[in-house]
Amino acid sequence: MLRREIPIFLAMIVGWFMVGEFFFPWAEAGGTEVQQMAVIITAASVVLGVANVIRINLLKVSRREKDWQYAMLLLAGIALMGFLGTVLPVVHAAVHGGAWKLGGFGLAGITSGTLFDRLYNRVYVPLSATMYGLLAFYIASAAFRAFRVRTPEAALLAVAAIIVMIGRVPIGEKIWDGIPLLTDWIMNVPNLAAKRAILIGAALGGIATGLKILLGIERNFLGSD
């Protein structure tokens, strides 16, 4: 029983305090304290995350599961970045006073110009940008499906989308100067009305979920009754 009741009680106390902090300015300082506690707990949870990644991928390598080589590469990456970012600075501080360099790059630490920083900015950042860039092709393929006119609703969607697309580029105004105005009307009237309707519903859903948790009505995340 205590395993469920204590977390619910704690969630209610902290939750209601934060709700109060939102409405009563005199409680703001206490709210900031609680938020700082949350930041510390969140930072500590990264250890759990890394432990999970290492455990799962070590298992994959030791069992020689399919594509175990990728798991090996991942573990090597974690080991290298962990070593450069955390172990090396400690060793460096203990045994070496001056600059510690290899091929012009600082070896210890995570600040600008260090090997850690270079690896992050020259390996991870371009890979991340590539993933983001791929989105354009995914949008094209998804749009192709979305604009297939099969029903009257799909036809309406396709017509509205074509008007908005043409109205957003300079050629739209050249074809007919009313297209940008029509585009603005579509975006600011029917589109915005629908968006706000969804937003009101979602906001109420969010508030209600918060209330359910704070009142102890929703406790399925701690197991069933």
CB of 144 to other proteins, least distance (A): 10
CB of 64 to other proteins, least distance (A): 15
CA 96 to mean position of chain CA atoms = 39
Q: Does residue 207 interact with other proteins by CB under 8 A?
A: yes
Mask for 61-90, x = binds other proteins (CB under 8 A) = -----xx--x--------------------
Q: Does residue 218 interact with other proteins by CB under 8 A?
A: yes
CB of 85 to other proteins, least distance (A): 14
Of the candidate residues 149, 175, 189, 211, the single one contacting other proteins (CB under 8 A):
211
Residues 6+ apart with CB under 8 A from 161: 143, 146, 147
CB of 23 to other proteins, least distance (A): 5
Chain residues 26-65 in contact with other proteins, contact rule CB under 8 A:
26, 38, 41-42, 45-50, 52-53, 55-56, 59
**Burial of 31 per CB tally in 10 Å (0-12, 13-18, 19+):** middle
Best CA proximity match to 142, nearest among 126, 168, 156, 161:
161
CB nearer to other proteins: give 88 or 214: 214
Of the candidate residues 113, 178, 190, 206, the single one contacting other proteins (CB under 8 A):
206
Residues 6+ apart with CB under 8 A from 72: 57, 61
Of the candidate residues 101, 122, 168, 212, the single one contacting other proteins (CB under 8 A):
212
Q: Which H helix or E strand runs over 102?
A: strand 101-102
The answer to whether the Cα torsion of 40, 44, 46, 48 is positive or negative is negative
Choices 83-91, 108-116, 134-142, 169-177; region in contact with other proteins by CB under 8 A: 134-142
Residues 6+ apart with CB under 8 A from 59: 65
Q: Does residue 9 interact with other proteins by CB under 8 A?
A: no
**Rounded-to-integer distance, Cα 212 and Cα 206, Å:** 10
DSSP string, 65-81: -TTHHHHHHHHHHHHHH
> Which residues bind to other proteins, rule: CB under 8 A?
19, 22-26, 38, 41-42, 45-50, 52-53, 55-56, 59, 66-67, 70, 124, 127-128, 131-132, 134-135, 138-139, 141-143, 145-146, 195, 198-202, 204-213, 215, 217-218, 220-224
